[in-house]
Structure 1
Amino acid sequence: MSSEIEELRKEIENIDKQLIELLSKRLKIAAKIGEIKSKVGRDITDEKREQKVREYWYTYARNTGIPDSLVDNILPILFSYSKMVQINPGKKKNITIIGYGGMARSLASLFSLVGHNVVITGRNKEKAERLASEFRFVYMDLDSALNWGEYIILALSPSSMDYIIKISPKFSNKVVMDIFSSKNEVFSQLEKLSEIYSFNYISTHPLFGPLLYPVGERIVLIPSKSTKNLEEIITFWRECGLNTTVSSVEEHEKAMAIVQVLAHFYILGLDRSVEILKKEFKIENLSDFFTTNFREINKIIEKVNNILPVILEIQKSNPYAYKVREIGVNELQKIRKELGE
């Protein structure tokens, strides 16, 4: 029996070798596609193509008896690495990141893949040095970092506006980008500062949260009156592996009211309702009864709770928040009536 097992294991090893060789070949072809996309200015992520790949994977897998769940586990990893090899950076930029939180770390991880020169700085030297060392970047004091960088990224929260206003005279002749989720008040402030101190300001909103190596994700770019080189900045983010959307402040705030304010409002209500009902119904281990869908919903609830201060800040600062929450509550009441209550 042991000899039979060994023979089968050798057969598996040969198959594994073929799989590795095919994976290598697939990634090399993906890299060539990335070069073409870069030349013609196309985003790395092609959602229609990914959906087509999913469909034929499911078809071929089912024909050979492979469960959908295995495909669901393989494809996201395959897509991710295919996008990573498609990154085609142009000229390296000197990038100064002011901040060291989750989004600063996310962008630092992205820039490390592309190979840009990055400096981390901020008010807390120890935290800035820690983030810099994680990705083999450099820490500099604020003045040196601002003097050195071509692109200045404000990886800070809107509550840091007083600090940003204080240091803004040092942004002169630089490209400055904030990453605030809500632009209602800060955009106009930074736009005015850019005109006073002669820096090139463009607002950005990474739509992926504190995610490491966010290749293939999307970033929104909002030009200001002082934005002079929009196409260059679009190219910069595309070459970093992000899909780009250009928007006005108004369009951005309205869209975020739907996808952030309304969605998070429902999620917060769901989370609180679940906790109350667990106690009322005396269910100690609700996870023992999770359906597949609720398991995914629970993951989203956990993510929201992990960044709750940011979520609440967006709820308060978005100018359309009240309207979407009002509509959201009204629609729930309509559904309740339709159910005969």
Structure 2
Amino acid sequence: MTQGVPEELRIKRKELDKVDRELLSLIAKRMKIVKDITEIKRKYGIPVFDKAREEQVLKTREIWGLEEGIDWRFVEEVFKLILQQSRSQQLYAKSKLYIGIYGYGGMARTLAEVFSRAGHKVVITGRNLEKAKELAQSLKVEWGEPKEVASKVEWLILAVPPDALIDVVRELAPLMRSGSLLSDISSVKSGIVDKILKELPEYVEYISLHPLFGPDIDPIGETIVMIPLKSYDYWVRELSQALVSMGFEVVTASPDEHDKAMAVTQVLHHFALLTLKRSMDELAKELDVNYEGYVTYSFKKTLDTIKRLESLFDVVKEIQQRNPYAKNARRKFIENAEQLNEEFA
């Protein structure tokens, strides 16, 4: 025995150390192959994210795992992480763009990081230059004063709250280069994009975006909604190719189509989850019971999602209030809740 550890346990732990080292060596070997695949995809203009291929990989690995006596759910979780890392390794820019990002919050960071990793030239700016500089330095990209950035970039992305958008557009759009592109990333388009259009000079193009992911996840493989509002074929094609080559799925929509879809997938979803949590807390208090020890694995994930929504309550509330179809979405939810209540009575 060594320091109270049985010799046979110490030997087995050494065996584990050796196997873990071999596992890491194999993962490193896999990532080297991924780099070779990246060059092939870059050569032929093939998108980073291939949903069908990833589904095939997961299914085959689950089968291989079962043949080795390993639970398929464990294999799935492991390979989801491996595939996520592989996507991150494969980022490339088919044609490099000079991108300015106005803002320094979570979404600004996520977009700046992913564009920079893909090889685009990124510069951060904002009203608070110290915050812009801090973010830029942490990502090893450029930073600059807003008017200077607006005057030299090809594509300016405004990652700011809706209430601040119009003032920023009014200040910076007239300084932008002829033929350059402006984008916002607001979650609701009605009542916003029309106001932006009114402020744009004739020579500035405009494609509104909505990244359908939060700032705290690896976005590769996620969806970005693209809404062309004032753009020639060049920027529609260029932007779509840039996003797809980096591993995003791109959906093209009109402002109204976007808001209708988000009323179903975002407004209704948020409302249902927050209603569920409030009901749970009130019922638990009423029944004087602590339910935390009784939740299933899947419900723990639901509670994690709710916790995140609660931390972003102001953003959620803004979406609920601004989306023109939100009120009807909530009414539908309440009506169906009442109908189900009658069915279960």
Q: TM-score, with normalisation over the residues of structure 2?
A: 0.89
- In structure 2, the residue matched to 1:56 is 60
Q: 74-83 or 18-27: which moved more?
A: 18-27
Q: Is the 8 A contact 1:200 1:228 kept in 2?
A: no
Unaligned runs of 5+ in 1: none
RMSD of aligned alpha carbons: 2.3
Q: Which one of 268, 273, 285 corresponds to residue 267 of structure 1?
A: 273
Q: Which one of 312, 334, 337 corresponds to residue 317 of structure 2?
A: 312
- In structure 2, the residue matched to 1:130 is 134
- In structure 2, the residue matched to 1:290 is 295
Shift of the alpha carbon at 1:162? 3.4
Relative to structure 1, the CA distance from residue 240 to residue 58 in structure 2 (aligned partners, 3 Å threshold; closer, same or farther) is closer
**What pairs with 1:130-279 in structure 2 (closer than 5 Å)?**
130-167=134-171, 168-173=173-178, 174-194=180-200, 196-229=201-234, 230-279=236-285
Q: Is the 8 A contact 1:179 1:204 kept in 2?
A: yes
User: Could you list the per-position Cα deviations for residues 112-159 of structure 1 after superposition, in whole angstroms to 9, with x for gaps in the alignment?
Assistant: 322322221111122222211211222211111112211100001111
1:85 has 2:97 as partner: no
Q: Which one of 280, 283, 290 corresponds to residue 286 of structure 2?
A: 280
- In structure 2, the residue matched to 1:20 is 24
Q: Is the 8 A contact 1:109 1:212 kept in 2?
A: no
- In structure 1, the residue matched to 2:115 is 111
Shift of the alpha carbon at 1:186? 1.3
Shift of the alpha carbon at 1:188? 1.7
Q: Which one of 323, 330, 338 corresponds to residue 325 of structure 1?
A: 330
2:263 is aligned with what amino acid?
A
Q: 16-25 or 89-98: which moved more?
A: 16-25
Paired with 1:302 and 1:6, the residues of 2 have a C-alpha distance of 42
1:211 is aligned with what amino acid?
D
Aligned pairs, number? 338
1:271 is aligned with what amino acid?
K
User: Could you list the per-position Cα deviations for residues 171-230 of structure 1 after superposition, in whole angstroms to 9, with x for gaps in the alignment?
Assistant: 342211111111111112223333x34201111111111135422222111111334421
2:267 is aligned with what amino acid?
V
Relative to structure 1, the CA distance from residue 320 to residue 25 in structure 2 (aligned partners, 3 Å threshold; closer, same or farther) is same
Relative to structure 1, the CA distance from residue 36 to residue 257 in structure 2 (aligned partners, 3 Å threshold; closer, same or farther) is farther
Q: Is the 8 A contact 1:109 1:213 kept in 2?
A: no
Paired with 2:292 and 2:208, the residues of 1 have a C-alpha distance of 41
2:141 is aligned with what amino acid?
F
Paired with 1:186 and 1:39, the residues of 2 have a C-alpha distance of 39
Q: Is the 8 A contact 2:45 2:245 kept in 1?
A: no
Paired with 1:282 and 1:227, the residues of 2 have a C-alpha distance of 62
Q: TM-score, with normalisation over the residues of structure 1?
A: 0.90
1:240 is aligned with what amino acid?
M
Q: Secondary structure of 2:230's partner?
A: coil
Q: Identity percentage over the alignment?
A: 35
Q: 183-192 or 15-24: which moved more?
A: 15-24
2:207 is aligned with what amino acid?
I
- In structure 1, the residue matched to 2:48 is 44
Q: Is the 8 A contact 2:45 2:94 kept in 1?
A: no
